[in-house]
Structure 1
């Protein structure tokens, strides 16, 4: 039996073939999972805003385009031997309707193309992708660019030194989700931890001598390494696929993906409030920086 029983693809609203579509088809074929394809598009546009009037001819033409797309997609996906459903949801609130679909269909994975929003726009409007990272109760696979339809290398990016992730079990969920994908694709799973030693050099650390600070940094590094090793041991990750790298997470992950040609980075999405929510999580920042694709696991997510 495959690792996935049901996949939900949020289709590109332009209705063009996309990287996410290729990934969804490949995973569905490899796992034997049912594939639900949904396009969430704007409702029929009104002809005159001040009259809120819809031209019937234009409306029929608009809807006919999507009915034709549904029929074509069903035919093409059935040709792949897939168990599929295809539908169009006309909505002004795609996030709400996507979450409704997740609740109704209970997929193991939601798959969607990354929508590249300008940085300035992201300052004022939270993109749909970020909302999904924060609110979707099932793992979200946001596909940016792909070399292969089916991933060839998967990496789980963890933070075992963060007390929050230890208490919530998020690191274990990240590794389990990454391992399921790696097993399904019959590819190696790598484990990556970008550790930070800034605490050894900030205002809270004693600054009597430089040597003392170096000792503290060494002790902090060793403590983090032991925590990482314990996590890797618990999940049976071989030593040659454990990567303990000093630096800030996003640059480290970016360099790792480029060096090891990783296809998918599995990360955690932690609920944040206040200023942290405005700044965004590491996963949200990685979404627009890391080449390849991200598979996000939300802290405490349930359908």
Structure 2
């Protein structure tokens, strides 16, 4: 089994984030690895096609501030310092690949809902991260509380 030294954890900051953070913490402890957390925010112009005649920069800033606060809470559970907490604007898979390479990560940990059918055909962030990563990728199967 590989020995991991630097683990990058990609979080969507949903209700499932806790499961991914917990698993990453267990891996970090087992390998004595340094853990970094990342949340990627897609620019609102991507989401709305840039056709809306309004300035979305203030909304984008609010989203980034909220994400930084949520990420800091997650980081506090694993004692991860601020310099290893990243809120980045961009396309999730691309930015996680870039961060992993920049930090010389040897493992990327992400959550996966294990979707099937139409959701799988439309693609997913987990699939995008897996295909194109320059290191190992662990997709943590997140489960709903009622399962």
User: Given the two structures, how large is their TM-score scaled by the length of structure 1?
Assistant: 0.43
Q: Relative contact order: is structure 1 or structure 2 higher (C-alpha 8 Å, sep ≥ 6)?
A: 2
Aligned match of 2:42: 196
Does 2:102 correspond to 1:259?
yes
Residues 200 and 284 of structure 1, relative CA distance in 2, 3 Å threshold = closer
Q: Please tell me whether the aligned partners of residues 265 and 294 of structure 1 are also in contact (alpha carbons under 8 angstroms).
A: yes
Aligned match of 2:28: 182
Structure 1 unaligned runs (5+)? 1-22, 24-148
Give the alignment's Cα RMSD to 1 decimal.
2.5
**Cα separation, 2, equivalents of 1:215 and 1:201:** 16
Query: Once the two structures are superposed, what CA deviation does each residue of 1:94-145 show, in whole Å capped at 9, x if it has no partner?
Result: xxxxxxxxxxxxxxxxxxxxxxxxxxxxxxxxxxxxxxxxxxxxxxxxxxxx
Q: Please tell me whether the aligned partners of residues 269 and 299 of structure 1 are also in contact (alpha carbons under 8 angstroms).
A: yes
Query: In structure 2, the residue corresponding to 1:256 is in which secondary structure?
Result: helix
Residues 188 and 214 of structure 1, relative CA distance in 2, 3 Å threshold = same
Alignment coverage as a number of residue pairs: 144
User: Given the two structures, how large is their TM-score scaled by the length of structure 2?
Assistant: 0.83
**Cα separation, 2, equivalents of 1:230 and 1:186:** 22
Query: In structure 2, the residue corresponding to 1:174 is in which secondary structure?
Result: helix
Larger radius of gyration: 1
Aligned match of 2:127: 284
Aligned match of 2:57: 214
Structure 2 unaligned runs (5+)? none
Query: In structure 2, the residue corresponding to 1:266 is in which secondary structure?
Result: strand
